[in-house]
Structure 1
Amino acid sequence: MQLAKVLGQVVSTAKEPGLARFTLLLVQDASGADPERTSGAAYVAVDLVGAGVGEVVLVTTGGAARVAAGADTPTDRAVVAIADTVVRSGSVAYQKT
């Protein structure tokens, strides 16, 4: 799993039927010691937990994403949790406000 930050939503009226029940989020991986700092290319992930813009989330990839979303849905990445707190080396690196 990877920590990432939600940047926005992707709205699609025409999509594979298995994706109809999901919101698609635009996310970017967290970098360094601060989970709110991001780097790399932004990507789309299926939202399984109701995450919102600006939240730090856990993203799973590959087979784990497909299992989480349901085996009938073509999914490479899925948001599976919203982070409340991230503790790194005994110190709070992120606290949801």
Structure 2
Amino acid sequence: MLLAKVLGQVVATVKEPGLERFTLLLLQDATGADPERSTGAAYVAVDLVGAGVGEIVLVAAGGAARIAAGADAPTDRAVVAIADTVVRNGTVTYSKF
């Protein structure tokens, strides 16, 4: 799984039937010491947990994303959790609260 920051939503009024029940989120990987500083190209993932803009989330990729999404949706990435706290080397680097 990867840590990512939610940048926004992608609205698609016409989509593959397997995706109709999902919100699509625009994400950017949260790599490095500070998860709130995202880097790299933005990408789209299906939202399975109701994440909001600015939140740090856990993203499953590949086959794990398809399984989490119910295998009836063609997806490469899925948001599977919202991070409350990130601890790195014994130090809290992100806290939602």
Question: Percentage identity across aligned positions?
Answer: 81
Secondary structure at 1:78's aligned position in 2? strand
Q: 1:31 deviation in Å?
A: 1.9
1:32-53, Cα deviation, whole Å (9 max, x unpaired): 1000001100000000000000
Match of 2:52 in 1: 52
Q: Aligned residue for 1:84?
A: 84
Deviation at 1:71, TM superposition (A): 1.1
1:2 aligns with 2:5: no
The TM-score with structure 1 as length reference comes to: 0.98
Structure showing the higher strand proportion among its residues: 1
Using the size of structure 2 for normalisation, the TM-score is: 0.98
Distance 2:21 2:72 in 1: 12
- In the other structure, the counterpart of 1:26 is 26
Structure 2 partner of 1:64: 64
Aligned residue pairs total: 97
- Structure 1's consecutive aligned runs of 4 or more residues displaced over 3 angstroms after TM superposition are none
The gaps in structure 2 that reach 5 residues or longer are none
Q: Which runs of 5+ in 1 are unaligned?
A: none
